[in-house]
Structure 1
Amino acid sequence: MGAPRAYVEVVGPLWTIDQAAHYWGVSAARARSIVSSRRIDRVTGYSRAAILSVTLRRGARTDLMPTARALTLAEIARSLAHTESEPTRWRMFLEFRRGAADVGRAALSLVEAEPVLTGQPRYDALLAAAAEDITAHYGTPSPLWTVAWERFLTSAWWVSDLPSARLYALAGTPAAFRRRGIYVDRYDLADDGRVSVPEPLLGRDDTLDAFTDLAARLEHADVIGQVHVIGGAAMFLAYRPVRASTRDIGAMFSPDAAVVDAARDIARERRWPSTWLNDHAAVYASRNPGEGPRVFDHPHLHVMATPADHLLAMKLLAGHSTSDREDCARLIDYLHVSTRQQAWDIVARFFPGIRIPQRSKRVVEDLIGH
């Protein structure tokens, strides 16, 4: 009897095959086929979270939608426990949020197992808030581990130190976070509008090594490639080396077919997502971004970072007070921007006639004194 009890503690409530069949609206025989093909283990029953995470395609011969790979809270917690940089911790948490959004109801299985305590009370509470927020979204009870006393803060944590961010957090913090003493606007918890890309997180060394591999493949194909890097990768390649990682390399590149084919070959060999190098963020770039510093040079591959002023303009328009706060401050210092008008002149140069969101205006007011 010991083994089933231990299993329940790990995977949560167990369902019978009849309960699973009722939930899916199929026969018991069909339910057995589903749990078998999905490799849902049975001890004295089947994991409720695993059952809820299965999505059926109505009218299709194949019932199961494939589940994208996403990090679990337990995996994130183990990484947080060994991370000292606060900006990196926050980016790791956002990586979980993005992955959970990608997999839909399968996110329920990402929060079922209790994550280890990280040694950072704020993040111990944050992980519980994320779990409660996800289960509430799908109308299911939160895992029991989320109500432990160590998952609540005794004093308020304002995730962003910008005054404008506090105003938005007061109005927009989700209930699961607010009741644990965490204040952060839902806008800063959500994806930033880009197409979401799964793991891994890429560091500076990973990126340069991948470019070396890409250059060799382009040379073999007798092609000369051009890559113009934007976003997080541009920061640690050219402007902020202390930034630890990025989740993908957003860029504009040519020739499209040759670079994409080589990048996909690299992805297969390294078991990376095929979109580790992608042009998803290009829709947010200026039509004329200019030329920035060369960050990788090879006879068959030239890689440059987007200019610092163009990158600042993009980040100011996004107006993220948490994930982009440190990057914006670094770029403002790098460019010697001392007045708000200088900042808006930079934005107008790259994005003429665009309407400036109120959120962006307040971020600039917080970062630049006058």
Structure 2
Amino acid sequence: MADELLDRKRIVELFDELSRELRFQGARAQIYIIGGAAMSLAFDRERATRDVDARIDAGHYRLTQAVQTVGRRHGLADSWLNDQATTAIPRTPDGRAQTVYESAYLTVTGASARHLLAMKLAAGRGKDQGDIGVLCKHLGLKGPDEAIRVYRELFPGELVKASVRSAAEAAFPERSVERGR
């Protein structure tokens, strides 16, 4: 199995092929993507990811078959479209999700900037820091408190861990300098 990085172009090619497989099966599917693939497709960010984290909203069985077929054809793991990441998705509906790919057989919506920001803050991974900065800028946030407010709105009742606060503060290094004066 190849450990291929998937960039925007490659993800779209794989979705095209999934769509053809679904057509062959006479099926339709709908997915909601998060993580690096959503960053790449929804925000035109030149970025690569190891898999496409997704929640399958319609056509689960047929889509899973198509994902395996396409993956094997290209030497990818069966989990190149990873539906195990759904526990990271806020329960609050994403009313701002936009369609990032559409064919007659496959519709893909990408998580909104607010949802992506909240999920990346919750994950607390250093590798997400660049994305957190891009999302804060895209949303026009002025400081870490505004980023934390987005997190609290989408994960109500969750404690704001030190890692969440730290990631939010790192997105605004100029604010950290101001506080240090």
2:148 to 320, 338, 344: 344
Partner of 1:308: 113
- Answer whether contact 2:148 2:164 (CA < 8 A) is retained: no
More strand by share: 2
Which residue identity does 1:307 align to in structure 2?
S
- Answer whether contact 1:215 1:301 (CA < 8 A) is retained: yes
Partner of 2:53: 250
CA RMSD, Structure 1 to Structure 2 (Å): 1.6
Q: State the distance in 1 between where 2:4 and 2:46 align.
A: 19
1:278 partnered with 2:76: no
SS in structure 1 at match of 2:78: coil
Q: State the distance in 2 between where 1:346 and 1:283 align.
A: 18
**Greater Rg, structure 1 or structure 2?**
1
Which residue identity does 2:70 align to in structure 1?
I
State the 1:306 CA deviation.
0.6
Paired residues, what number?
172
State the 1:284 CA deviation.
0.8
SS in structure 2 at match of 1:275: helix
The percentage of counterpart residues that share the same residue type is: 30
- Answer whether contact 1:289 1:306 (CA < 8 A) is retained: no
Which residue identity does 1:305 align to in structure 2?
G
Q: State the distance in 2 between where 1:199 and 1:257 align.
A: 25
Q: TM-score, normalised by structure 1?
A: 0.45
SS in structure 2 at match of 1:251: strand
Deviation by residue 1:62-108 (Cα, 9 ceiling, x = unmatched): xxxxxxx6xxxxxxxxxxxxxxxxxxxxxxxxxxxxxxxxxxxxxxx
Partner of 1:225: 29
Which residue identity does 1:251 align to in structure 2?
A
Q: TM-score, normalised by structure 2?
A: 0.88
- Answer whether contact 2:53 2:84 (CA < 8 A) is retained: yes
User: Unaligned stretches of 5+ in structure 2?
Assistant: 177-181
1:288 to 85, 92, 100: 92
Partner of 1:167: none
State the 1:326 CA deviation.
0.8
Q: State the distance in 1 between where 2:51 and 2:144 align.
A: 31
Deviation by residue 1:257-301 (Cα, 9 ceiling, x = unmatched): 111011001111111111110112111111234141211111111
| Highest RCO, 1 vs 2 (Cα 8 Å, sep ≥ 6) | 2
State the 1:342 CA deviation.
1.8
State the 1:240 CA deviation.
4.4
Q: State the distance in 2 between where 1:282 and 1:263 align.
A: 17
User: Unaligned stretches of 5+ in structure 1?
Assistant: 1-68, 70-197
SS in structure 2 at match of 1:250: strand
Q: State the distance in 2 between where 1:278 and 1:318 align.
A: 16
